[in-house]
Amino acid sequence: MAVASPEDHAHSDDGRSPDGDGMPMDDEKAGADFPYWSIDMPGLDERRAVELAGLVRRSVAGIVPTLVDPKLWLTLHLDRETAEVIRDALVSATPTAVTASLVESFDEWLDQAAQGGEGGAGTS
């Protein structure tokens, strides 16, 4: 799975692209380290997400929060077993560029999770 380089998007104060396309901003370290941790906060609305992103940016050195608009992005938190089942189903599906890309993403994550040790996939 390719991660956009920092040059692909300029950072704005709230973590969204300045052109308003809702694209999440990529942390300069995204993909550099595994495991990559995130925080799921049910009930969080856009205003509070922007406030929290600003708070984190001001108080935690080296962390650039990424806002992900749920109207534009589907974010799945899958355990290892579910990821394996989906990957196997994609391998069995009619091959397309989309299925090949998804298989590659699942393979990469599953490989990293298997080697990741502490905090890897499937832990809560």
Q: 106 — phi, psi (to 5°)? A: -65, -45
Question: Could you say which residues of the chain have pLDDT below 50?
Answer: 1-13, 15, 17-31, 117-124
Task: Report yes or no on whether pTM surpasses 0.85.
Answer: no
User: Which pLDDT score, from 0 to 100, does residue 34 have?
Assistant: 62
Domain span including residue 92: 80-115
| Contact criterion met (CB below 8 Å) for 29 and 66 | no
Give the number of other Cβ atoms within 10 Å of residue 25's Cβ: 24
User: Would you state the structure tokens that stand for residue 35, as one six-digit string?
Assistant: 């495991």
> Residue 88 in 3-state DSSP?
helix
CA atoms within 13 A on the CB side of 70: 9
Residue 123 domain-assigned (yes or no)? no
Listed residue (63, 8, 55, 60) closest to 33, CA to CA = 63
User: Which pLDDT score, from 0 to 100, does residue 75 have?
Assistant: 87
Considering the domain architecture, whether residues 106 and 50 belong to the same structural domain is answered as no
Considering the domain architecture, whether residues 9 and 43 belong to the same structural domain is answered as yes
Considering the domain architecture, whether residues 64 and 84 belong to the same structural domain is answered as no
> Residue 43 in 3-state DSSP?
coil
- Domains identified in the chain, total number: 2
User: Which pLDDT score, from 0 to 100, does residue 39 have?
Assistant: 87
User: Which pLDDT score, from 0 to 100, does residue 17 have?
Assistant: 41
Residue 100 domain-assigned (yes or no)? yes
What gap in Å lies between CA 94 and CA 55, rounded to an integer? 46
